[in-house]
Amino acid sequence: MARSRQDLVRRRPLRRSAAVLLAVTLLALASAPVLGSWRQAAILRAVASESARTDAYQQAAYLAVSEAALLQGTLREPGGEEREGLDDAGRRTLAAILSLSAHDAAQAQRNAGSAALQVSLQPAVRRYLDLLDGGDAAGAQEVLEIEIEPISVALTDSLRTEGEEQARRYVASLARAQKDSRLLQLVTLLAFVVGIAVLVLIGWTSRSHRRIVERMAAQDALTGLPNRVAFQAHTDIAVRDGAPPTIMMLDLNGFKEVNDNFGHHAGDLLLIEVAHRLRAGVRAGDIVARLGGDEFAVLLADTDGSLAEAAATRIGESFDEPFVVDGIALDIEVSIGIASGAAEDDTAALMRHADIAMYTSKEHRLGYCRFNPGQEHETANRLTLLGDLRRALDNSEMELHYQPKIAVHTGEVIGAEALARWRHPTRGLVPPDDFIPVLEGTSLIHRFTAQVLDLALAQARTWMDDGCRIPIAVNVSTRSLLDTAFPDLIEEALQRAGVAGELLGIEITENTVMADPALAIEILHRIRRLGVTTAIDDFGTGYSSMAYLKILPVDEIKVDRSFVRDMATDHSNFVLVESAVGLGHNLGLVVVAEGVEDDSTASALDALGCDIAQGYHYARPLPAADFAGFLSARRAAGLIAEPRTSS
């Protein structure tokens, strides 16, 4: 017993030491997951920091490439959207480069070199823009090729090199995070004796952290879709597999207006809903990504490019239903560009081709458009024509021909329609159908409209001084009519010419009004207060609403020549013209028939009670000098009427 007591006494310090050691061991094992979690959080922050740095380098490189693209685009279209976006492109690029030092002070010296390249680029850019504004496209191209492109290439290469180094650091950071996760799992297994609860907590923490790291690397935070980097990686894999992939680029029409009118929160909710519809509109294997802003992309899962049209149709149909955001129904359309890869195409070329197709779709409101090499050629021709038009407006190469408007019953000259012609130095007289559609797609249409108004009113003044008060009608595009400054432009033109408003009329189409009926009605009221008459041109060929037609402040409707031309021999056309005349008169409007080419048509119109006619039966569009002779003959016969005034 005494021996046992002595053994107990001797072992007591050992048990105490073992207990302390066990307690320390258990405490260490129990605290290991917590300490490991702290360590994981620290590495996660480091990964997030490296990701931010990587994004900053990518953003700087993207802005540098975008600026170069804008410079190239400005050469092709000096007055286009690229020129408007170029003004702050250099500043944004420089700001992005300078911000790199804030992300990574160790790279400050190399970042300073990139910043110096960007700063050195700006004087050349200013010279380039000055040459373009001065019309010296050849000099501008020389500056672009000799001065700008070498610096731009050096800057892009510098940012790409630095970005690739940063990407390697980012990958290393991810590797460290993964290694730390594995160590944490091992410690969790060793600490199992501490309790199931601790093990579950540690496992949950580990998995959560891994998901966050992976999500940061490849996912768009707002929509949950793959981001640009992930989409490019998937496309790279598809290209390397050897089977040419097909991609679709998508851009939302009207998204900027949503942000401007309802705020960015509504815009974010709209993007989330768009992502849902895009995912629902494609197959399970297709990859939908958000590239940034309101731009999305789809990588088709197979190599059959013909299926892209069906996918684009499904997506377009899914946008027919309004998007409901915060109780507001928003009608948003989508423009889709489709490009299928060729054997020599890489990811960058494939995405560029899809972009070109998408912008073609947006410009022509096609819904979707497949890329073909001719689009690049057409774009070049359009840019050349735009350059010639800009020079034509600078050099006053536009002139007007005039077609008389005749009172059907009396034969009196009651007005004239001004029709623009372009006196090209090498092509001769260019008809309006060859150049006005191009002008309407740019801001040059405003300069063109102002010049036409001045020419028409100056001619009205000349005829008035010669004793003939002949109202002149001018056709007006949608962009001009829906410009809130347009009535002021008309008023200033009237004052410069010293002509009363009753000697000017403007002609607009049904589609012009329906583009924005409320704004169109407001502007037409302002124009009418100037005494200017208004007419709906090509009546019956566009989209119109009788509800709007009865409240529009217009004075005339002009029945389109496609109905008038054969009305004497085609009963259906006769009925349509008869209906238009009756409708116009019941609404208190003057009815004008276009395209009258023979006496039988004129007689039929007289029988229907049509008020005014114009066409080759009376006279072709005439230069001002020839029209003066036409007026002299009509005045000698007493066939010139006093102008009407708008009601």
User: Confidence class of residue 14 from pLDDT cuts 50, 70 and 90?
Assistant: low
Q: Are 407 and 414 spatial neighbours (Cβ–Cβ below 8 Å)?
A: yes
Name the pairing type of β-strands 504-509 and 472-475.
parallel
- pLDDT, residue 192, reads 64
Of the chain, the end-to-end C-alpha distance in Å amounts to 130
Q: Residues 109-131: what's their mean pLDDT?
A: 74
CA distance 255 to 271: 9
Provide the 3-class DSSP secondary structure of residue 557.
strand
Please give the residue that has the higher pLDDT: either 357 or 8.
Answer: 357
C-alpha triplet 133, 83, 160: angle, nearest 5°: 120
Provide the 3-class DSSP secondary structure of residue 505.
strand
Q: Report the residue count for the chain.
A: 647
The residue assigned the tokens 């019956």 is 540
pTM across the whole model: 0.51
CA distance 165 to 158: 11
DSSP code at position 148: I
**Residue 104 phi/psi, 5° resolution?**
-150, 90
Least confident of 135-149, 315-329, 546-560: 135-149
Please choose, from the candidates 465, 567, 481, the residue with its C-alpha nearest in 3D space to the C-alpha of residue 527: 481
Q: Residues 592-604: what's their mean pLDDT?
A: 94
pLDDT of residue 85 exceeding 70: no
> Across 347-468, where does the E strand assignment appear?
368-370, 398-407, 413-424, 428-430
pLDDT of residue 170 exceeding 90: no
- pLDDT, residue 330, reads 85
CA distance 395 to 287: 52
Please choose, from the candidates 326, 211, 311, the residue with its C-alpha nearest in 3D space to the C-alpha of residue 273: 326
Q: Are 617 and 600 spatial neighbours (Cβ–Cβ below 8 Å)?
A: no
Can you give the C-alpha Rg of the chain in angstroms?
A: 36
176-195 residue pLDDT tens: 777 777 777 777 676 666 65
User: Confidence class of residue 532 from pLDDT cuts 50, 70 and 90?
Assistant: very high
Q: Are 239 and 341 spatial neighbours (Cβ–Cβ below 8 Å)?
A: yes
State the average pLDDT for the chain.
81
DSSP track, 73-105: HHHH-TTSHHHHHHTTHHHHHHHHHHHHHHH-G
State the amino acid at position 312 in one-letter form.
A
CA distance 299 to 282: 10
User: Confidence class of residue 544 from pLDDT cuts 50, 70 and 90?
Assistant: low
Q: Residues 49-75: what's their mean pLDDT?
A: 72
Q: Which of 31-35, 295-299, 345-349, 351-355 has the highest mean pLDDT?
A: 295-299
Q: From the DSSP assignment, how many helices (H) and strands (E) are in the chain?
A: 24, 17
- pLDDT, residue 381, reads 63
Please choose, from the candidates 379, 377, 319, 311, the residue with its C-alpha nearest in 3D space to the C-alpha of residue 340: 311
Bridge partners of 509, per DSSP, are 537
pLDDT of residue 530 exceeding 70: yes
Name the pairing type of β-strands 590-594 and 556-559.
parallel
Least confident of 75-84, 177-186, 329-338, 546-555: 75-84
Provide the 3-class DSSP secondary structure of residue 290.
strand
205-235 burial string, b = 16+ CB within 10 Å, else e? bbeebeeebeebbebbeebebbbbbbbbebb
206-240 residue pLDDT tens: 677 666 665 666 788 899 899 999 999 998 888 88
Please give the residue that has the higher pLDDT: either 210 or 593.
Answer: 593
Contacts of 581 (CB under 8 A, 6+ apart): 559, 591, 608, 609, 610
Bridge partners of 537, per DSSP, are 509
- pLDDT, residue 86, reads 66
Sign of the alpha-carbon dihedral angle for 376, 381, 385, 390: positive
Bridge partners of 533, per DSSP, are 505
State the amino acid at position 508 in one-letter form.
I
pLDDT of residue 337 exceeding 50: yes
CA distance 272 to 266: 10
Least confident of 112-116, 440-444, 527-531, 550-554: 112-116
- pLDDT, residue 146, reads 81
Bridge partners of 252, per DSSP, are 334
Name the pairing type of β-strands 590-594 and 246-253.
unpaired
pLDDT of residue 440 exceeding 90: no
- pLDDT, residue 6, reads 44
Q: Which of 225-234, 341-350, 387-396, 454-463 has the highest mean pLDDT?
A: 454-463
Q: Residues 119-127: what's their mean pLDDT?
A: 78
For 114, other C-beta atoms within 10 Å of its C-beta total 28
CA distance 116 to 12: 76
245-293 residue pLDDT tens: 899 999 998 787 788 778 889 999 999 999 999 998 888 888 999 998 8
CA distance 276 to 279: 5
- pLDDT, residue 7, reads 46
